[in-house]
Structure 1
Amino acid sequence: MAEAALLLVTTKIGIAVGVEMLHYARSVAKLSENMTLIRNDQELIRAFLKEIGRKASTDGVTETWTGQVRRLAYDMEDIVDQFVYIVGKQHQKGSWWSSVKKILKKPQYLFTLGEIATGLEKINRALTHLKENRDWIQPITGVGDIFATNYDSQQQLYLPGHDYSISDDELVGFDKNRKLLMGSLNLENCLNLQIIALWGMGGIGKSTLVSNVFRYEASNFECRVWVSVSQSYKLDDIWRRMLKEIYPKDKKEFDAEKMTCAELQDELKAILKTKRYLIILDDIWTAEDFRKITEVLVDAKMGSRIIMTTRSEEVASIAPDGCRIKVVPLEEEDAWRLFCRKAFPSTGNHICPLALQECGKLIVGRCDGLPLALVAIGSLLSLKTQNVTEWKLFDAQLISELHKNDNLSRVEKILNLSYKYLPDYLKSCFLYCAMFPEDHLIHRKRLIRLWVAEGFVEQIGNCSLEDVAEGYLTQLVQRSMLHVVERNSFNRIRCLRMHDLVRELAIYQSNRESFSTTYDDSHGVMHVESGSRRMSVLQCKNGIRPSTGQCRLRTFIAFSTSNASSSLFPSESKYLAVLELSGLPIETVPNSIGELFNLKYLGLNNTNVKILPKSVTKLHNLETLSLRDTDCLSLPRGSEKLKRVRHIIILKLLDKTYASFKCFEPMEPLEGLWNLKDLQTLGAVRASKIFVSKLASLSQLRILNIVGVRSSHCA
């Protein structure tokens, strides 16, 4: 995921060097020029890494080199944030030229131009060294190159679930979808070529279900072909395999290996226009893949069928209404039955011993209804001693087992395949979701604001960052990486959750790439991993032990802690962009918060905070300020200087059932509140004559919660 880190920092550099004053200050412009050169190098490295990422496997040297690239990108991000902080001072007071003179004359801020210049020189030297070392990995990367292999040799790598194929009596929880699929195949009055799509997350059982139906229905079709489509497929290999399956085995003059792509296409069309065929396209990734492959599938009005499986809702939408089947995780009862059938194959009725039931259900719960995991883990446990101690040890080491145990590695590969082929701009967004606790309901608005604050969202045309981020969220849902739990009355996503096993693998990936660390000391003392950019505190009873890397944190999110409030504000983390402490026992916000020059998101919902310190007005990058259901109902004087703020949510709930007309207490309108031109969300605010008259100034406003509007305000 070094590509995603490089994407983030190159985007930041582009913003930084675009500052207007750079055209006037020679020293600052020189820094801008150096940063542009670094960005160009990083773009080349990113392109190189994308090529590496297309390989089936990578070696240790490549992994080490990629890790060095990632760390360098993080160092560059620090430099860029320092630079933006320095030049940003021009907007705070006086003319831009006087600000430049003050910056050049006397270092008076957290960082100086000299420090930034020195940092850039170190980055440049490190980049040069990295580019030289890249030669080491050139001959090695070809070893795992999946482009060098033919289609047939890739099958075992990409065929989902075939190592753990389920027999008919073990096809648990699929009855409804099996009937739907059979019904779509046997539409007697429909002779048109019909496309049927099954979609859902990796390992959910799509291929297993289709394989079962294929076994029974294939004889009703003259031609039957099963094609597994990898991300790196070659079209001629796909067509060649189809032709081999279709041609009579005794046709000696047939040699598909020597045929060109055009010849394969013509031959397939010529055969299929005279046959009733059933084609299975397993694991289709994009609509374009489907379009290319199906160019040879002629509709001869003979009742032919195409069944495709996919992880993407967007791809599944190719199939008509009524022929799209969403495969969802198994219900708790079905999951337990499937697990027991694999874990106790020799026991009468596959009954789990009473002593193992508690631990067994914990393991099944970790699988979260995912058939692939249930079958693989159940099969592995069937080989172990039926002993509570051994089962508990296995449960405690489950995630480690997924990475190390050859019998479970397929589960990890299939789940990680979805992550591997995410676009770079979605990888960070996806890993970010793993920072929330297990089974946590992630609210759309909150998540989008966090992504924007992190800088993950790229400006596209005239769309707001929030609209672009919602598009990202939709893509992750369509790719089955996140699951919608609830939608609002406008059918927009209200809240989501992450599959438990997917979350665990994402946490592992986040730690491996220093993206984030989840902190939970409920089972003993923990130490924070050095160098991680983000920290999520799930449980904190013993106090967080700071590390040398903690000063470079970009995000600090705490969900539960019994610590005193003073330890909840990581004052040494000057680069923080996100500080989310909602729901914690906080009564005061320290004045030192004003030193967090990079802070863009401050969340203090459901806390005991009564007043914000004056230093909050120094947070000139602040975009989101949320104090929902607190006793703090006013902003400090001078808050109108927070020109970049986009969302202000300040109110105290009086009736959490929302049954009464007056269910919350609003904030008092601040003098100059109407000058915050980027404001999109404002709630709740008490109406006043002057504020209502100035509302038209807030042209970006989308959500307004205003209380106490009188007839005298109407004009």
Structure 2
Amino acid sequence: MAGVGAGTGALSSLLGKLTTLLSDEYKLLKGVRKDIAFLERELRRMQILVNILADMEKLDKLAKDWKGTMRDLSYDMEDCIDRFMVRLGKGDAKRGFMKRTVRRLNTIFARHGIGTQIKELKARVVEESERRQRLNLDNFVTSTPRTVEIDPRLAAFYEEAEGLVAMDVPMNKVMAWLMEDSLELKVVAIFGGGGLGKTTLAMELNRKIKGYFKCRASVSVSRTLDLDKLLKDVLFQIDPDVFRKCKKDVWTKEQLIRDIARILTGKRYFIIIDDVWKEEDWKIIKAAFPDNRNGSRIIATTRITTVAKSCCSNSGDQLYQMPVLNDVDSRRLFLKRIFHHDNSCPPQLEKVSDKILKKCGGLPLAIITIASLLANKPHNTDEWERLADSIGNGLSYENDGGGKGMKDILLLSYWDLPHHLKTCLLYLCIYPEDQRIKCEDLKWKWIGEGFIAAPWGNLCQEAENCFNELVNRNMIQPVDVGRDGLVHYCQVHDMVLDLIISLSEEENFAIVLNRRVCNSLPSKIRRLSMQSTGKGNKGAIHAVTTSKLHIRSLNVFGETEPVPPLVNFHSLRVLDFDSCNWLEKEHIKNIGSCSQLRYLRINSRQITELPGEIGKLQFLETLDLRGCGDLITLPSTMVQLQKLARLLIHYHIWLPAGVIGSLHALEEISHIYRVDNPVKFAEELRHLTKLRKLSMNCYPDICSDYLERYLEVLRSSLSELCKFNLRYLHTSKEIGDYLLGGRRRRFPHLHLVKSVFKRETRFERIPMGMASINDLVHLDIEVERFDEKSLHLLMGMPSLTYLQLSVVTEGYEKFGSYFPGKRFDPVTVGNNGFKFLKVFFFTLKEYTGIGIAFAPGAMPALQRLHLRWKARDVMSGYYEDGPGADMGIRHLSGLTHLQVEIDCSYATVAEVEALEGKVTGWHPNRHTLQVHLRREHENTIIKDEEERDKQREEERRGQYLSAF
């Protein structure tokens, strides 16, 4: 369990610290040892109840109040213990962290009243323990009855299909899979977030094709699988007589499974398993349905991506991701529900209806819910505007019965989350609406707050797991999936954001201050998000001032009222100034008093100097200064930051000599361009044995002898780091040429690197040293020449799964815009070439031709192929392989996604359309391949060849005149 949770507060973290205080090393704490032992013993008993209450959907007012009091008490107690630790000068609650004299401890206790505070906290614990007993709250531990309500999802099972919008495409695609001639059992898993219409689609398919099957059944899975009930439901639908018999006798689950399998033997059956929540549940359920080779079919629906994949374990199975509605279909559905037709909206409601639909984000259930509410209200602008605003505030869920269904669906997903994932999700409420959230920063904030627990110490991996789980459950929306397949940015759907803001305020987990009016604020704010509150909003500043002793996370976005001086923010763990150009040196001069700070990000052009006090931040793990473009250098006191794991700076910032080598906890360094002493910097790098990621472009303009010395020391240090943890190396062309330019410079441990180089790094050819990097997984490289020899160098890298290759004519910027590029003879990937490659990006700039081709058996594991060409070059008549070119994409047997970016610059309409036509016809298995075409620079398309000839002549004339 994580140390800090939304519902449990800091109780788990606190208990660990109290246990440490009771260890032998604290035997001198005689005056308070008895009180601490009582607190530890009593809180451990109470923790059981707090954990149970934190995961209950519905609590009566008294139980909810007691849980909230215990949560706040745990925060206050941890703050007290933390202040004591810091005053001892070590600030850590781990074994071996202090041995102090009686005089030292007695002085601290007397001067700061620690003993008195502990007695006060003990009195509060006693009071809450007695209140727990008076309220009989322990009954929740032994018995947790809950009201059984009709599952709202069941309505879709029995609704008629009238009024369905945009179901034709999903219906036809899934139906084609279900009606294929194959005799093997086929599973089609339909997945996507709650409210997208998965159940509706499944049930409509059932209505259309059920006549083709001898046995049929449709069942819904509860969050906690009741296998006995589910199996009996199936049995009732496929053979009522056998079901009646099993009702009389006591049948075990194994007997039910055997009888269902026996009944289905020899019959063609069609089963719908709706809303599967866990992979383990699917494995159990699937055992009842044999592959009798009669063309049987199963549809499984789920919200969770990993569950959907587990449903499709056989080669013939199919995954279908339920899409959101596009703008046109969203509008059709919205208008049809309100006005009973889908093509007309009163002019005065056009603007506000667009506003409402934006909030719904293409989610059919959200659209239907809100449209149903509006259908019963006056059709005037004021009424609709009020509803649109209430959607933004999350008020419609509570005040309007018509909106309750949406909250119920969202809450169903929320309450299914484990407690630590609830906490991680709620933390996303700190971000403004529609904010693109950098995923890596989010994870480190989770770590800084103490939300992530990793029994074996790998907090980064556990944070990654938590993030992926929230994505899989469709609670977080990826908005920028990198070409490496990793999610770099994410967003929270507006309606999810409204819900988690509401839940966060209810739990006093986090408070959001923006342009909305806040009627009341809690006396102790633990986490605060200030979002464009505007100048003069004194309420926000008052909230910060009165709660600064208790605030653990302060996130400031944009042009807000400046925060008070950073004094007495003793509990602050996360401090994020995002796009705060009002922020100046004066605002952060006392930052050293934020003794618990773990995460600090400053994004302001006004900061030209960091205070030396930053060295007092002994717990700091992340220092992000990438937004401080006018910051000149870093203070020498940074050598004191012994827990700093991430140093991310703007490339203008100078790195002083002697700083890096002292920061032994560093795992990631980014954007190192300028250093005071290059050789010393290179020497210091070798001491950073925990370093995983290094991004540097430090190639100093110095004399050749000194440069050779610098490069040799750098090579030696990087070779040493590769023996330990360095796996991601992003560097410049010059350094890359030195490291990989020839076999004589190959160093022994570079083969362990997994990711290397950046796109702005351009080589003349693929470096020979590449062949030695056996463990390289990710390569992003740009070259000026690429031939069969280069191809074989890359194919010789056995672990490569991601390749982004750009081939660019040397000096291509100098070529005329209306002239074709140089001739490029295509290279061919042979049988079993790039055996493990899954993602391939290939860009050809200012070369004519298709550049690459695939022989039968090439890239057998390839799933995603991205191509970028200029239509003018590929389809022009200046070379032989243009209009008739065939890349052999049909030979890529595992390909599921083909994306072609077509640069339309100065191409004719005919060339662009001809290339698009060829792309769509390249792969025979069109139903299994998703083809995406995207045009770039479409505004530069030329009407025809005659127009291009005129422009070529004008360009020639311009070049001729410029020569004189």
Contact 1:164 1:372 in 2 (8 A): no
Deviations 1:611-659 (A, max 9, x none): 11122111111111111132223232322111111111222xxxxxxxx
Give the C-alpha shift of residue 536 in structure 1: 0.8
Question: Equivalent residue of 1:649, what SS?
Answer: strand
Q: Hey, what's the Cα distance between the residues in 1 that align with 2:138 and 2:501? A: 28
Q: Does 1:599 align with 2:591?
A: no
Is residue 314 of structure 1 aligned with residue 320 of structure 2? no
Q: Once the two structures are superposed, what CA deviation does each residue of 1:389-436 show, in whole Å capped at 9, x if it has no partner?
A: 211222222321212322221211111111111111111111111211
1:440 to 398, 415, 435: 435
> In the alignment, what sits opposite 2:632?
633
User: In structure 2, how many angstroms separate the alpha carbons of the residues matched to 1:119 and 1:676?
Assistant: 40
Contact 1:164–1:375 under 8 Å retained in 2:
no
Among 499, 502, 512, the residue aligned to 2:496:
502
Contact 2:221 2:274 in 1 (8 A): yes
- After superposition, residues 499-648 of structure 1 pair within 5 angstroms as 499-521=493-515, 528-541=521-534, 542-543=537-538, 544-547=540-543, 548-563=546-561, 565=562, 567=563, 569=565, 571-584=567-580, 585-588=582-585, 589-630=587-628, 631-648=630-647
Select the residue among 190, 205, 229 that pairs with 1:237: 229
Alignment of 1:40-439 (within 5 A): 40-49=44-53, 53=56, 57-89=58-90, 99-101=100-102, 103-107=104-108, 111-135=112-136, 138=139, 145=146, 156-159=150-153, 162=156, 165=159, 167-168=161-162, 170-188=163-181, 190-248=182-240, 254=245, 256=247, 258-262=249-253, 263-318=255-310, 319-320=312-313, 323-345=318-340, 348-398=341-391, 399-439=394-434
Query: Are the equivalent residues in 2 in contact too, given 1:551–1:574 (CA < 8 A)?
Result: yes
Measure the CA separation in 2 of the matches of 1:434 and 1:611. 31
1:586 shift after superposition: 1.1
RMSD of aligned Cα (Å): 3.1
Looking at structure 2, the residues matched to 703 and 58 of structure 1 have their Cα atoms a distance apart, in angstroms, of 46
Distance in 1 separating the partners of 2:97 and 2:71: 35
Change (3 A) 1:471 1:569: farther
When residues 124 and 226 of structure 1 are mapped into structure 2, their CA distance, relative to the original with a 3 A threshold, is: same
**SS of the counterpart of 1:518?**
strand
Q: Tell me if structure 1 keeps the 8 A contact 2:10–2:75.
A: no
**Counterpart in the other structure of 1:676:** 663
What's the counterpart of residue 656 of structure 1? none
Match of 1:660 in 2: none
Given that 2:7 and 2:507 are in contact with CA atoms closer than 8 Å, whether structure 1 keeps it comes out as no
Q: Deviations over 1:284-338 (max 9, x none)?
A: 1101111122222122111111111111111001214661111132222211111
Task: Using the TM superposition, give the Cα deviation of residue 354 of structure 1 relative to its aligned residue in structure 2, in angstroms.
Answer: 0.9
- What secondary structure sits across from 1:697 in the alignment? coil
Instruction: Report sequence identity in percent.
Output: 26
**Bigger helix fraction:** 1
SS in 1 for 2:177: helix
Give how far 1:136 is off. Answer: 5.1
Rounded Cα–Cα distance in structure 2 between residues aligned with 1:140 and 1:105? 41
Contact 1:552 1:573 in 2 (8 A): yes
Asked whether the equivalents of residues 554 and 576 of structure 2 are also in contact (C-alpha less than 8 Å), the reply is yes
Partner of 1:227, secondary structure, is: strand
Seen in structure 2, the aligned counterparts of structure 1 residues 174 and 70 have a Cα distance that, compared at 3 Å, is farther
Q: Does 1:711 align with 2:708?
A: yes
Go from structure 1 to structure 2 and tell me whether the alpha carbon gap of 1:474 and 1:394 turns closer, same or farther (over 3 Å shift).
same
Q: Distance in 2 between matches of 1:143 and 1:314?
A: 30
CA distance in 1, matches of 2:243, 2:541: 73
> 1:694 is matched with which residue?
684
Is the CA contact 1:669–1:688 (under 8 Å) kept in the aligned structure 2?
Answer: no
Where in structure 2 are there 5+ consecutive unaligned residues?
Answer: 701-706, 714-964
Aligned to 1:472: 466
Q: Secondary structure at the match of 1:536?
A: strand
Contact 2:6–2:507 (8 Å) recurs in 1: no
CA shift in 2, pair 1:99/1:353, >3 Å = same
SS in 2 for 1:581: strand
- Write the distance in 2 (CA, Å) between the matches of 1:375 and 1:130: 45
1:661 maps to none
Note the C-alpha offset of 1:494: 0.7
Contact 2:557–2:579 under 8 Å retained in 1: yes
1:570-615 deviation line (CA, Å, top 9, x unaligned): 5453311111112102121443221111111111024311111122
Number of residues of Structure 1 aligned to a counterpart in Structure 2: 682
> How far, CA to CA, are the matches of 1:246 and 1:22 in structure 2?
67
Q: Hey, what's the Cα distance between the residues in 2 that align with 1:140 and 1:163?
A: 36
Which residue number in structure 2 is paired with residue 37 of structure 1? 41
Q: Match for residue 764 of structure 2?
A: none
Supply the AA of the counterpart residue of 2:15: I
**Which position in structure 1 is the counterpart of 2:912?**
none
**Higher RCO structure (Cα 8 Å, ≥6 apart):** 1
Aligned to 1:10: 12
Partner of 1:196, secondary structure, is strand
> Structure 1: which 5+ runs fail to align?
652-663
Deviation, 1:524, is 5.4
Say if 1:580 and 1:602, in contact at 8 Å, map to a contact too.
yes
CA drift of 1:245 comes to 1.2
Partner of 2:881: none
Larger deviation, residues 493-502 vs 624-633: 624-633
Taking a change above 3 Å as real, the CA distance of residues 334 and 111 of structure 1, as seen in their structure-2 partners, is: farther
